[in-house]
Amino acid sequence: MINDLEKKLKTYRLSVEEYEKIKSLLGREPAPIEWPLYSALWSEHCSYKSSKIHLRKFSYRNERTPLMDGENAGVVDLGFDEKIAFKMESHNHPSFIEPVQGAATGVGGILRDIFTMGARPIMSANYLCFGDVDAPRMKDLMKGVVHGISSYGNCVGVPTVNGQTNFHPRYNKNILVNALNVGYFGPGMKMALSNASGPGNYVVYVGAKTGRDGVHGASMASASFDDDSESKKPNVQIGDPFYEKLLIEACLEVLEKNLVVAMQDMGAAGLTSSSFEMASKGQVGLVIDLKKVPLRDSTMSPEDILLSESQERMLLICEPKNFDVLHKTFKKWNLDSAILGEVQAQKKVKLMWGPEVLTDIDPDLIVESAPRYERPYTKWTPKNKVAELTRPTIQFAEILKKALSSSKLNRFTWIYNQYDQRVGAKTATACESAVAFTRLEHSGRGLALAVGCRPDVMEMDAQIGAYDAVYYPAFQMALKGAEVLAVTDCLNFGNPQKNEIMSEFVASVDAIVDASEQLKAPVISGNVSFYNETITENIVSTPAIGLVGLRDTVEDIRPDYFQNPFEMILEVKLNWVESFTWINSLGNKTSSFKSYPEINVPKFIQLCKNLDTEIKAKKIKVSAIKAVGLGGITTTCLKMTTSELGFDLSNDYQGVTAADYFKDTFYSFLITTSELEEVRKFLKSYFNSIPVEILKIGETTQKIIRITSEFQLDFDQFQKQFKQEI
C-alpha cells in the first residue's frame, strides 16, 4: 500500500504533505480521476505556489490600467476608444526538449491568451537565451527555436516586430524561450472575460480535435531536468498555425456577434485548467461529458482527454439560443464545435464519462486551495559592489576577436530575416530596432514595444539587474519619444527550494515593483517559470520584461544607425552604475560594479522622453540616436554601422586604456549631428537639472572603423562577421 502511494505521488508529482492536504479538503481519498486534476492544477506552472505571495506586490494600477485580476492578459486604455491587451509567457522546458514545436506552440499559446480576451493580435516579440554557441546541441536548438517562431508567426499572419537574443554558458542545459504578444481593441470591439455564468448555458468546445500530445505538459514544466530530457518529447505539444489563424477569425467573429458569455483557451493542463478555472472564477458549476470531446484518437482515456495540451482549442460558454449561429460560424471556418455540457447553479464541476460520474467536486477545492509556500530566502545584499573599479588588462584585437567568435557582437540579421515583420502593413520599424513601433488603426498613433533583461547584469547583481531589466528598455523607448505605459514580465528562475534562487527571485520582484511604480508603468500581466535547472545547474536568474508605450505618431522616429558620413558623435552620460560587465563576460567572469544610488534614473528617462519633442520644436539637427548597450561606446558604435558608414573614435584620450572604450555606464546614449556646438549647447541647457556629462567621442566615416590611431578594423571583414549566421 505504501509503495503504491509512493508510486502515485511520484507519477503525479505531489508531495506527501500535498496528498494529506487533498485528503483533508475532500474528507476522503482522492478518486482516480482527481489525482491528475490535482497534479496539473497544483503544479508550479498552474498554481504559482512558490511565487504567489510575492506576486501580490504587483498591485499598483493607474487610470490607464484597469484591474483584470485572473484574466489571460493585462489591458491598457490608450484613449481615443482604443485599448490593447498584452502579456509575456514562457515555453522554456518544451523548447529545450523539442525546439521547433516547443517554440512554435509558445507563440501559439501567447496568441490565444490575447484573442481569448477579444483583442486582435497585432505585434509579437520574443526574448531568447542560449548557452555557448559550441555547447552540445546549442546550434541546433537555436536554429530550431528560430524556425519554430518564424514558421508559426509567419503563417498565422501576426508580425514579429522585436526581440532580444542572449548567450551565456549558464543556459547550456536550459534555454529560455519567452514569447510576447500585443492585441488591439478598436472602437466598438468587446472585451471577453473567462468567468462562466448563467445556469443552463452551454459549455462548448471549439477548435482542433484533441490528441495525446502534451499530456502532463504542465507537470513536466514544473520540474527540473535530468539527463533524460529526450524521454519527455511526448509531453511537448504540436501546433498548426493555419488552424490558429482560423480560430482567431472565428472567435473574434462570434464575439462581435455577441454569441459568447465567456471564453478561455485550453493552455497548460488543457481542458482541466480551462473548465475548473472558468467555474471557480464565476462561482458556478459545470457538467461536462468527456465522451463528447472531439478526438483524434478514439482510444484516449478520460485522464488523457483532461490533460491533453493539443493546440488551437478553446472552451466557450454560450446561451442555448445562440448555439446554432455559433456552430455555423465555426463550421464556416472549418473548425469543430461541440456541446460538452452546461453551467449549473450548484458550485460543483461534474465530470462524466457517458452515464458514469467520474467526479463531482467544488472547483475551489482545487483552484483556490492550492498550497502557498513561503520559501526561505535571505534579504538581498550586493555581492559584487566595490568602491572603485579595477580595469581589466586586455588589448583591442583580443577583445574584438573574442566578441565576434562568441556571439557577443552580432546583428542577428539572419534571425530577423526569417520573421515576417511587415504583414498587416502597420509596422513602422525594422525588427532589429531596439524599440518596435506599429501604427494604431483608429488614431494613427505609434504603439511602442520593447523587451529587456541583460543576463550578464543579472549575474553581476540580481537587484541591479532587475532594475535594469525595466529601466533599460524604458530608456530605449524614451529616446524614441514614446511614453512608457505598462509592463509585463516573464520571471525565469531556477529551483525555488534553494535559498539562493529564492533570494534572487524576491530581490528581482521588489526591484521590478519599485522601478515600475517610479516610471508610473504598472506590471499588469506576466508569468513565472521556475525549475529552469538540470541536475544542480541553474540558469542565470532572468526576469524578462516587456514594455508598451505610446507616441503621437510613427513619423520621424530617429533611427538606431548612422545616417551620414562626417557627422559628430556625442555621448550623453549619466553615471548610475559603472562596470566592465561586457569585457568580463568574454572570459565567463562575473563583474564587480560601482553604483551611485543618489542618481534619479526615472527623471533621466522622463527627460529623454521629452527630448524628442524639444529637438523637433527647436529644429535641432540630430540624425540618429541610440542607447549605449553593454560593451560601451565601442560596441554601440559598431552596432550603429551600416554597409557604407563607419566611425572614428581616435581622440586618444590621456590615461584611457583599451578597457575604457568598452566600459559599461548605466545609462548613456549617442547622437549624431552635423552641428556640434549648437547641439552641445542645447543638450547642456536641456539636462541642466541632473548631473550628466556631454562628450564628443568621434565622428562618422565612409567605410572606416577606427577606434584609436593605432587600431583599425577591416570594414568589409567586420560587416561580414557581424551579420553572419552563428
Report the alpha-carbon distance of residue 508 to residue 500 in Å, rounded.
12
Say if residues 220 and 93 touch (Cβ distance below 8 Å): yes
Say if residues 76 and 65 touch (Cβ distance below 8 Å): yes
- Sheet with 176-185, edge to edge strand ranges: 74-79, 82-90, 176-185, 120-130, 160-167
Report the alpha-carbon distance of residue 497 to residue 51 in Å, rounded.
11
Question: Distance from CA of residue 301 to its chain's centroid?
Answer: 35
Cross-strand bridge partners of residue 705? 647, 713
Read off the C-alpha cell for 198.
Answer: 448563467
Question: Would the CA dihedral through 321, 324, 325, 329 be positive or negative?
Answer: positive
Distances (CA, A) of 183 to 74, 160, 244, 725: 10, 13, 15, 32
Give the list of residues 6+ apart from residue 714 with CB closer than 8 angstroms, or none.
none
Packing angle between helix 99-115 and helix 138-156, nearest 10 degrees? Answer: 40
Say if residues 551 and 446 touch (Cβ distance below 8 Å): yes
Report the alpha-carbon distance of residue 380 to residue 362 in Å, rounded.
41
Q: Which residue has the cell 526538449?
A: 97
Report the alpha-carbon distance of residue 108 to residue 247 in Å, rounded.
11
Report the alpha-carbon distance of residue 68 to residue 533 in Å, rounded.
32
Considering the candidates 54, 91, 93, 327, report the single residue annotated as catalytic. Answer: 91
CA atoms within 13 A on the CB side of 313: 33
Say if residues 202 and 122 touch (Cβ distance below 8 Å): no
Report the alpha-carbon distance of residue 263 to residue 115 in Å, rounded.
10
DSSP letter string, 630-689: TTHHHHHHHHH--SSEEEE-----TT--GGGGG-EEEEEEEEEES-HHHHHHHHHHHTTT
Distances (CA, A) of 329 to 42, 244, 326, 438, 557: 36, 15, 5, 30, 42
The number of beta carbons lying within 10 Å of the beta carbon of residue 274 is: 25
Cα(first)–Cα(last) distance of the chain, in Å?
55
Question: Distance from CA of residue 623 to its chain's centroid?
Answer: 31
In the residue annotation, 54 being an active-site residue is answered as no
Distances (CA, A) of 439 to 119, 141, 401, 445: 16, 34, 40, 6
Report the alpha-carbon distance of residue 396 to residue 480 in Å, rounded.
31
Considering the candidates 45, 54, 93, 168, report the single residue annotated as catalytic. Answer: 45
In the residue annotation, 442 being an active-site residue is answered as no
Question: Which residues are tagged catalytic?
Answer: 45, 91
